[in-house]
Amino acid sequence: MNSTRFLYSNGVVSYSDVPPVATFLESLPGAYTTTRTHENGTTLLFWERHLKRLSSSARILVNSSPHLIFKENKINPSFSPPVSIISSLKWETRIRLLVSNSLNHVLPIALEERSNGEELAVTALVSGDLEKLKAMENVANGDDGVFQFFDVHLHIGSYVPPVFGIEENGAHLALVGRGRDFSDAKYSDWVRLRKPLEKLRPHSVTELLLSNDGDRILEGCITNFFVICQMDKSGAEGQYLNDYDNAYSVEVQTAPISDGVLPGVIRQLVIEICHIKGIPVREVAPPWEKHQLWEEAFVTNSLRVLQHVETIKVPHPWESLESKCLEGISWIEKKFQGPGIMTKIIQKEIMERASTEGHWLKESV
């Protein structure tokens, strides 16, 4: 399926002129999630977790920021969704069902067309239509109303996962901007909002990091960020997420959701695995001022799963980013020597979970 893409929108499958996923997401508001197939297209990675996060994102957007999920209402711009009606429809469960039904229609086609050994990237977008909602009658009479004013789109394309562990597949990061304003939900407009940061991307950098003060690193634009650092218990008593013995001299750190980071599916898996393995883990934004203690670093998202970090660049001073000119920024760089032992342990556990939690496609699709 060389560069072939599929788009399934409200029951219609498109085979030609399907845009790249970033362009597609920019074209519509909504809550979305992205995952991929695994083991030669036989399973879908952590699909139930993605459905749960997608439903949660849609609920949050409807209740808090409807402009991020509903299409512009051209007929009556002042009309806003009646949240009490939407909540009464038990629409969260219906969204899960609607997305799964859509997947069952289009994924068999994409699996048939893909090349052997190639995986598929799957993006599900739920978008509301205020004009449809305004036109509806007797909305409160049944839960099926949610099918009438929420549109579901599935964008599917080929994806070749990078091989974990080799130097050329490591991530190269640069801290270039402030954290996102609305991080509780995963929404498509972030694709547009993060574009200005691209002007500050240094050569060879593969992911951009976010921070509100130039010290505490929150996340990447499309990843969650982790460091494995030497244990520093000062001021950390009672903040660890699991009990641990003295077997480890390091701890895993990642910014808490309350700091304004996306609740990533793989992020949560990493925390769960640390619990199970007895690895010290603390939800705290890793401070650059203590980067000398960092022994390993990695980023996570649902396509790459886990990717070790080779380099991190931080502007000096932080205020130099205000120039919005790459040429005027000086960088301090930290290097890592490939994936470390702890990174390998966590990655191995995630991939074992991928096999046990995978959504089996050959039987269900």
Specify the range with the lowest mean pLDDT, choosing from 26-35, 93-102, 164-173: 93-102
Quote the pLDDT of residue 92. Answer: 72
Q: What is the mean pLDDT of residues 302-316?
A: 97
Q: Which residue has the tokens 């089996």?
A: 360
* Listed range (18-27, 61-70, 229-238) with the worst mean pLDDT: 229-238
Q: Is the pLDDT of residue 206 over 70?
A: yes
- What pLDDT was estimated at residue 75? 55
Alpha-carbon distance 93 to 17, whole Å?
A: 32
- The answer, yes or no, to whether residue 89 has pLDDT greater than 70, is no
Strand 305-315 to 331-335 pairing:
antiparallel
Residue 145 pLDDT exceeds 70 = no
360: pLDDT confidence band, cut at 50, 70 and 90?
confident
H-only helix segments in the chain: 21-27, 47-64, 83-88, 91-113, 130-135, 146-149, 190-193, 265-277, 341-357, 361-364
Q: Which percentage of the chain shows pLDDT scores above 70?
A: 84
Lowest mean pLDDT among 72-76, 112-116, 216-220, 249-253: 72-76
Stretch among 78-92, 98-112, 150-164, 272-286 having the lowest mean pLDDT: 78-92
What pLDDT is stored for residue 78 in this prediction? Answer: 61
**What pLDDT shows up at residue 245?**
46
Q: What is the DSSP string of 79-103?
A: ----HHHHHHTTHHHHHHHHHHHHH
Interval 232-269: pLDDT, tens: 655 444 444 444 444 568 999 999 999 999 999 999 99
Percent over 90 (pLDDT), the chain? 63
Q: Is 30 exposed, middle or buried (0-12, 13-18, 19+ CB in 10 A)?
A: buried
Closest listed residue to residue 176, CA positions, set 34, 313, 327 = 313
